[in-house]
Homo-oligomer: A and B are copies of this chain.
């Protein structure tokens, strides 16, 4: 992971901040399972499992707290 994928927590809009939160949540999985191929296979299972979909939504919510604070809530 030597390439730059997270240059800043600043985003122009609340919605762009939400998309960044989704990216961080996915990177949090990728650090443990770096294989794109395996993650692709696993995805087929959990994208129909509501408990896991809700769990992903929770991780996004936690990252969104961080990003919203970093942007002073886009006020």
Do B70 and A73 have beta carbons less than 8 Å apart? yes
Do B50 and A52 have beta carbons less than 8 Å apart? yes
Do B15 and A73 have beta carbons less than 8 Å apart? no
Do A18 and B6 have beta carbons less than 8 Å apart? yes
If A6-B18, A62-B65, A64-B24 touch, whether A52 touches B55 (CB-CB below 8 Å) is no
Do A52 and B54 have beta carbons less than 8 Å apart? yes
Q: Chain A 39-56, CB within 8 Å of chain B: the 1/0 string?
A: 000110111111111111
Do A15 and B25 have beta carbons less than 8 Å apart? no
Known: A28-B60, A51-B52. 6 other contacts (CB 8 A): A6-B14, A26-B57, A28-B58, A29-B53, A58-B58, A66-B73
